[in-house]
Amino acid sequence: MSTYKCSCFCKSVQFQATLKNLDLVVCHCSMCRKLTGSTGFASLECANDVTFISKKHLAIFNSSEVAERGFCSNCGTTLFDHFKPANAFFIPPAIIENLPEENIHFVEEIYFDNKPSYYAYKNKTKKKNESNFK
C-alpha cells in the first residue's frame, strides 16, 4: 500500500491518501454521471486513510443517505465519494499525483445496466448491475 498526494485543479484542496490497491472501478449510475458530468465515476479505494493538508474551498455535498461527495468550490474538481457506512473514500485517479499509471488495473464496472448506450469502454472488466447492490 502506498500513500499518494491528491489535489484539485487549483490546489486549494490537498490531501494524502493511502490506496487500498491499484484496482480502478467505474460506476455508471446516473448520480455519478451527473455529479461528474462524465461517462461514469472512475475511482480507486483508499478506505478511510485520508489526511488533509489543505481544506481551503473543500465543499461536501450529501448525495444520498449513505454517501457524500467532496469537491473544490473554487475550481469544481471532483475529489472523492465518501461511502459513510464503511467510512471508505473513493478517489478519482486524475487527482492523484505521481500515480504509477502502468500499474493501474481497470477491473470493474458497476451499475453497468445504468450505462447509456452512447459509450462503452473496451477494457475487459467485471460487470455488476444495480441489482448486485440491493
Footprint of Zn ion on residues 52-111 (CB under 5 A)? 72, 74-75
Least Å distance between CB 102 and Zn ion? 27
| 12 interacts with Zn ion by CB under 5 A | yes
Pairing of strands 67-72, 78-83: antiparallel
Residue 29 contacts Zn ion per CB under 5 A:
yes
Q: Least separation, in Å, of the C-beta of 49 and Zn ion?
A: 22
Give buried/exposed letters for 5-28 (b at 16+ CB in 10 A, else e). ebbbeeebbbbebebeebebbbbb
Cα separation, 99 vs 109, whole angstroms: 21
User: Interacting stretch for Zn ion, rule CB under 5 A, among 17-25, 29-37, 88-96, 99-107?
Assistant: 29-37
Q: Which is nearer to Zn ion, 2 or 55 (CB)?
A: 55
Nearer to Zn ion, 48 or 54 (CB): 54
Which region, judged by CB under 5 A, interacts with Zn ion, from 5-13, 61-69, 91-99, 121-129?
Answer: 5-13
DSSP three-state, residue 108? strand
Sheet holding 67-72, edge to edge: 58-62, 67-72, 78-83, 88-91, 41-45, 23-27, 105-110, 126-128
In the list 6, 19, 26, 27, the residue contacting Zn ion (rule: CB under 5 A) is 27
d(CA 126, CA 35): 23
Give the footprint of Zn ion on this chain (CB under 5 A). 8, 10, 12, 27, 29, 32, 72, 74-75
